Amino acid sequence: MRTLHPFHGGIHPPEHKSQSTRQGIAAAPLPARLVVPLRQHNGNPARPVVAVGDHVLKGQMIGAPEGFISAAVHAPASGRVMAIEMQPIPHPSGLPDVSVVLEPDGEERWIERQAIDYRAIDPADLRNRLRDAGVVGLGGAVFPSHIKLDASGLETLVINAAECEPYITCDDMLMRERAAEVVQGIAIMQHVMAAREVLIGIEDNKPEAISAMQAACQGSGFEVVTVPTLYPSGSAKQLIKLLTGKEVPSGALAPQVGVQCFNVATAYTIHRAVNHGEPVISRIVTLTGNMEEPRNYEVLIGTPVGELVKVAKPRADTSGYLMGGPMMGLPLTDPGVPVVKATNCIIATSAELFPPPPRAMPCIRCTRCAQACPADLQPQELFWFAKAKNFAKAQEYQLFDCIECGCCNYVCPSHIPLVQFYRFAKSEIHAQERDRKASERARERHEFREFRLEREKQEKAAKHAAKAAQAAASPDGGSGDEAAAKKAAIQAAIDRAKAKKAAVTPQNVDDLPPEAQAKIDEIEERRTHARESAGQAAAVQKSDEGQGAS
Amino acid sequence: MLNALLVMIGLAVALGAVLGFASLKFKVEGNPLVEKVDAILPQIQCGQCGFPGCKPYAEAIASGKAAINLCAPGGEAVMKRLADLLGVEPQPLAAEAARPKPKQVALIDEQICIGCTLCFQACPVDAIVGAAKQVHTVLDSECTGCELCLPPCPVDCITMVPVEEGLNGWKWNYPVYPISDDARKDVEVTS
Ligand code: SF4
Ligand code: SF4
Ligand code: SF4
Ligand code: SF4
């Protein structure tokens, strides 16, 4: 029995998991329309590689990865590309994003699928193939997996199968039904990263999944570790601490302490991509909450949520839908948004299941939030600083270590929406950082411009000086054809400019107020003066030159 | 007694020498306060503060010749940070600086532009590219939105367009939530 290293805090919210595990995973029906956003992962959105009107096959790449932190996007069904346009996506802003709209033809014709012999190819090559297969972290963070896999000589590979958030059971069902395939996926990861040990962390409220995984791991050397049910043990840093005792330092990444952590569903998609040549075009989604027939479904990416939920028969008093769990999930304002790679669960809400939170009261500094915080922060202080927009102080109190788990919200006797304040403060800090970078650049450009103007001035002065010196040195003034031609050219240019000046009509000079007109007149007068004196000077110079030349 | 005196004198001389050396060796170029103030200013170089750019304004602030509440683009946030830096009380923004503007960039109508280079010469950050008699254009990524290129244009072909923030620039709002009416009484009950 492995000794566990409990993390700080944590809570025990009601689980609500049993209702969606009574039946096995079913395939969701093919919808009439698929909306596939090109940004389903962290990093750069994919670049569309199909055109409107194209016929695509199931699994065909429709968005190519753009840059290093990106992943491909594929057609979830064969059919026709109807549009590439802005469509609503599941995002807290409610803003739309570029998506490929497909109309499935119902034939479900696949691309040619080719398995990869992962032991025979270079790990870098394998990682590129995973990027092209659209493999991203399916635990919710949707970070492209090929980047996380780029860590060799790892001490421990942690497979996150804790699934700690209430209501969600998609990983549980995946392990119950497809444990062998999950383990094959883990084997690929272990091969790529040369991890010394593999630990699979599962909460003890999933006995069926634990025994299925234990059976599948026989002889593989992977260890299934049962961890106590405590929210949020499924958060990467907390699970790593729990299983290995290692703390990932603030601002650091897990490989710096020799650990890397992947979600169990990601392992499954890696197996499908490598051993079957199937890109990520579907995922398992828990449909639960206020529904008659809660159940897990294998759902094509791009299926509109409003259409999907019909299979689980939401009750009449359903007030809305939540994507993700009740602790960290996103309330959907538009049921037209599609299922994306990050969608693990859709919860139908009702006034009975999710009563509106009581009105908030002032913080009484009871520090219950600090006791519950799994990141060992001081949420009451963070709240105070975020509320006062004192972002520097909030960062000093490790705001960016907050995983937005909502434990503090959950225990707060004053019902303060604490996490909202942390999100607000984080995004403000990010925006300030962007602004700071922009002004840094503006300052550089401005300084360069000043430098350039100064240099041009000096160059001009130097040129003038050189000319003057030359003129003084050669008293004959360069007589002959050359000088005459030059003079003629200059005169011609001056004439042209004069003609042009005369042709230009001044702008906006009708209906001028008297002061403005007076100003203009004054300027004109000065100009004439200047012209006259310049003319005199030129005449004097000319006569000088004439004398010199003669 | 004499020994102690000698030691003290020796120490004083030695430390004096060290300090003197350090002050020469680590001499700070320019005025560090100006740099610090300049680092806070938004670098839009718009001149709305009444100075010909952020650096001159920073110099005026550092030498105590200007108030800290004149920068309109920086708004309250910049004023507060200046107050923090200088250890003075925050002041309400000057009337001309109080109205915040959305982020914007200049756009040259290339159908109208006559290629006179006047806007190009006015731009404080060289965000306009073009040459004499060639159509000019604005580099969105570098434009600070200072509007300095608008007045010189003889054919009024430059307009300011607000920047669409989109998903990348989206921010969470400041949380608003209902607060209990009889909060005080309830606090006593819960605690
Ligand atoms: S739990 Fe709520 S009331 Fe208690 S200290 Fe934290 S924020 Fe304040
Ligand atoms: S949301 Fe952040 S501050 Fe609150 S308990 Fe979780 S990690 Fe701690
Ligand atoms: S108003 Fe602000 S941004 Fe504009 S020049 Fe002055 S300091 Fe710079
Ligand atoms: S292009 Fe115009 S608005 Fe933009 S920085 Fe230059 S002068 Fe200012």
Per-residue pLDDT band at A266 (split at 50, 70, 90): very high
Which residue lies with its CA nearest to atom 7 of ligand 2?
A: A402
The pair of structure tokens assigned to A108 is 């479900």
- Residues on chain A touching B191 (C-beta within 8 angstroms): 364, 366
Q: Which ligand is nearest to the CA of A383?
A: 1
Regarding whether A226 and A200 lie in a shared domain, the answer is yes
- Res B15: pLDDT: 77
Are both A129 and A229 inside the same structural domain? yes
Residue A91 lies in a domain: no
Q: Does A250 or B16 have the greater pLDDT score?
A: A250
Q: Which residues line ligand 3 (CB under 6 A)?
A: B 41-42, 44-49, 51, 53-54, 57, 71-74
A336 shares a domain with A231: yes
What pLDDT sits at residue B103?
Answer: 81
Query: Last residue of a domain, which of A471, A493, A519?
Result: A471
Strands A96-104 and A79-88: antiparallel
Task: Go through chain B and tell me how many residues it has.
Answer: 191
Report the distance separating Cα A103 and Cα A81, nearest Å.
6
**In angstroms, what separates the C-alpha of A505 from chain B's closest C-alpha?**
10
Compute the nearest-CA separation of B126 from chain A (Å). Answer: 7
A316 with A423, same domain? no
Residue ID of nearest Cα to ligand 1 atom 4: A366
User: What's the pLDDT tens digit per position in A164-191?
Assistant: 999 999 999 999 999 999 999 999 999 9
What is the average pLDDT value for chain B, to the nearest integer? 81
| Residues A381, A304 share a domain | no
In this structure, which residue's CA is closest to atom 6 in ligand 4?
Answer: B123
Q: Is B187–A364 a contact, with Cβ atoms under 8 angstroms apart?
A: yes
Domain for residue A250, yes or no?
A: yes
* A chain contacts of residue B174, beta-carbon cutoff 8 Å: 424
What is the CATH architecture assignment of B32-98? Orthogonal Bundle (1.10)
- State the sign of the Cα–Cα–Cα–Cα dihedral A326, A330, A335, A341: negative
Cis peptide bond prior to A232, omega within 30° of 0: yes
Same domain, A238 and A304: yes
Structural domain contains residue A114: no
Pocket test for ligand 4, best of B147, B157, B159 (most atoms within 8 A of CB): B147
Please give the backbone phi and psi of residue A321, each rounded to the nearest 5 degrees, phi first: -130, 150
Residue of A363, A367, A422 to test ligand 2 pocket, by largest number of atoms within 8 Å of CB: A422
Q: What is the pLDDT of residue A490?
A: 65
Query: What's B141-164 look like in SS3?
Result: CCCCCCCCCCCCCCCCCEEEEECC
pLDDT tens digit sequence for B80-118:
888 888 888 888 887 766 666 778 889 988 888 888 888
Residue A536 lies in a domain: no
Tell which B residues from 88 to 147 touch A, by Cβ distance under 8 Å.
Answer: 124-127, 142, 144
What's the pTM value of the predicted model, to 2 decimals?
A: 0.77
Question: pLDDT tens across A399-429, in order?
Answer: 999 999 999 999 999 999 999 999 999 999 9
Q: Which of A95, A417, A448 sits opposite B177 (nearest CB)?
A: A417
Domain stop point among A316, A349, A382 = A349
- The answer on A146 and A267 residing in a single domain is yes
For A179, list phi and psi in degrees, rounded to 5.
Answer: -60, -40
| CB within 8 Å: B169 and A434 | yes
Examine residue A198 and state whether it is found in any structural domain, yes or no: yes
CATH of the domain at A172: 3.40.50.11540
pLDDT (0 to 100) of residue A516: 65
Ligand 3 atom with the smallest distance to the CA of B70 is 1
Q: What is the pLDDT of residues A60-118, one digit of tens each?
A: 999 999 988 999 999 999 999 999 999 999 998 888 999 999 999 999 999 999 998 99
| Same domain membership, residue A295 and residue A372 | no
How far apart are the two ends of chain A, measured CA to CA in Å? 112
Query: In sequence order, which ranges of chain B are alpha helices (DSSP H)?
Result: 2-25, 32-40, 54-62, 75-86, 118-122, 183-190
- The answer on A306 and A431 residing in a single domain is no
- Is the model's pLDDT at A501 over the cut of 70? no
Q: Which CATH number is B102-172 given?
A: 3.30.70.20
Please give the tally of structural domains in chain A: 2
pLDDT band at A478 (very low <50, low <70, confident <90, very high): very low
Residue A158 counted as domain residue? yes
Name the residue range of residue A434's domain.
360-471
Residues A40 and A89: their CA atoms lie apart, in Å, by: 9
CB A209 within 8 A of CB A168: no
pLDDT band at A12 (very low <50, low <70, confident <90, very high): very high
User: Domain spans of chain B?
Assistant: 32-98, 102-172
Instruction: Provide mean pLDDT across the span A29-50.
Output: 92
Q: Judging by beta carbons within 10 Å of its beta carbon (0-12, 13-18, 19+), is residue A290 exposed, middle or buried?
A: buried
Ligand nearest to the CA of B187: 1
